[in-house]
Amino acid sequence: MATLGDLERAVMDLLWDSPEAQTANGLRDALAESASADGKELAVTTVLTVLARLEKKNLVSRERDTRPHRYRAVMTREEHTVELMNDALGTVMDREAVLARFIGGISDDEAAALRRLLDGGRADEQPA
């Protein structure tokens, strides 16, 4: 799975946070609102280029039956993160060592959630 550049990440964050498909103009406007006051205007063609790249990476789908086209995330933020984690684990010889280092860096609450998941529970359940 390809990594995301800063602008790709910003576009994906907007799509992940939106319950509806978005137009390139709408995304450009939302990016302009959230950008710092650096004085740079983002062209809609730039957003369209980013959306085309994200579509090639199978992260975005385009609704072609409307004008302007609307875009939505193909998977959730969580599903994308899982794919990244699986890809990262797939590149190492000693998966257990990587998992041990990862687990060593999580909080007590995250460790408790992981224990519940491994025991067949759900992450959002509270301990008894």
pLDDT band at 3 (very low <50, low <70, confident <90, very high): confident
Q: Is the per-residue pLDDT at 127 higher than 80?
A: no
Average pLDDT over residues 49-67: 94
User: How much is the CA Rg of the chain, to the nearest whole Å?
Assistant: 19
Alpha-carbon distance of 62 to 43, in angstroms, equals 19
pTM of the complete model: 0.79
CB-CB contact of 123 with 113 (8 Å): yes
Average pLDDT over residues 79-88: 90
**Which amino acid belongs to residue 92?**
V
Domain boundary assignment for the chain: 6-73, 77-118
Q: Is the per-residue pLDDT at 111 higher than 70?
A: yes
Alpha-carbon distance of 68 to 118, in angstroms, equals 45
CB-CB contact of 12 with 4 (8 Å): yes
Domain 6-73 architecture: Orthogonal Bundle (1.10)
